[in-house]
Chains A and B, each alone.
Chain A
């Protein structure tokens, strides 16, 4: 069974700090790794990573995948209170579009 482990499970920082969220996994055969942000309701899509070593960037958020070491990181620079959310990492299987999620990291950004 696919296993996705996120760390830390929770993190509290001050506005302006930079944070790095980790996602490690135990399978080597998967199609892509996805990051979602979940505030009060539905998870919203952030990034999809398919190739190792290629950084995806969107504003203050960036993410990269390391297929050799079996992990991905999500970086958030100059954090804002609006970044407070649960960040979910998920693996997409090689066939079909099922996702296996990690537990999530609860990020709290204090003013």
Chain B
């Protein structure tokens, strides 16, 4: 079982460059999420998609855009990367039911120089 798959695993960007982080899940989950994790900050929600065709801002959406391409895929785009976006990014998915845990991908470590 692949679960939640994120690509790439590592990425180094220069300030101002753009890139898209890809996420796909094969569990037929309705909800998908993008988090960033920074030391001492825990996991902070960037954007989420409660169901196919909808997206909403989370706690820290500035500088990011998302696309829920279909039920399986949820991508995160950085249009003009900044050093403050250096972080580990996690994609997660969930059934969407009230009593169900999220399942996480293995993360993308992004460094912006």
Tell me the A residues contacting B by CB distance below 8 Å.
1, 4, 6, 9, 31-32, 34, 41-45, 48, 50, 88, 90, 92, 94-104
**Which single residue of chain A is at the shortest CB-CB distance from B93?**
A97
- Known contacts A41-B106, A45-B101, A101 near B48 by CB under 8 Å: no
A103 & B98 in contact (Cβ 8 Å cutoff): no
Asked, given contacts A42-B104, A42-B105, A48-B101, whether A97 binds B42 with beta carbons under 8 Å apart, the answer is no
Minimum distance in angstroms from B57 CB to a CB of chain A: 11
Interfacial chain B residues near A102, Cβ < 8 Å = 42
Interface contact A97-B96, CB-CB below 8 Å: yes
Q: Cβ of B43 and Cβ of A101 under 8 Å apart?
A: yes
Given A32-B98, A48-B101, 10 more A-B residue pairs with CB atoms under 8 Å apart are A42-B4, A96-B96, A97-B50, A97-B95, A97-B97, A97-B98, A97-B102, A100-B59, A103-B42, A104-B42
Q: What total of A-B pairs shows CB separation below 8 Å?
A: 64
Contact B43–A88 (Cβ < 8 Å):
yes
Provide 8 A-B residue pairs closer than 8 Å at the C-beta atoms, listed in order of the A residue.
Answer: A32-B99, A41-B107, A42-B104, A45-B103, A50-B99, A92-B98, A97-B98, A98-B33
Would you call A97 and B43 a contact (CB within 8 A)? no
Q: Top 10 A-B pairs ranked by shortest CB distance?
A: A42-B104, A101-B43, A45-B101, A41-B106, A101-B42, A103-B42, A97-B94, A42-B106, A31-B98, A43-B104
Binding site for A on B (CB under 8 A): 4, 31, 33, 35, 40-45, 48, 50, 58-59, 90, 94-107
CA of A50 to CA of B107 in the docked complex: distance in angstroms?
Answer: 28
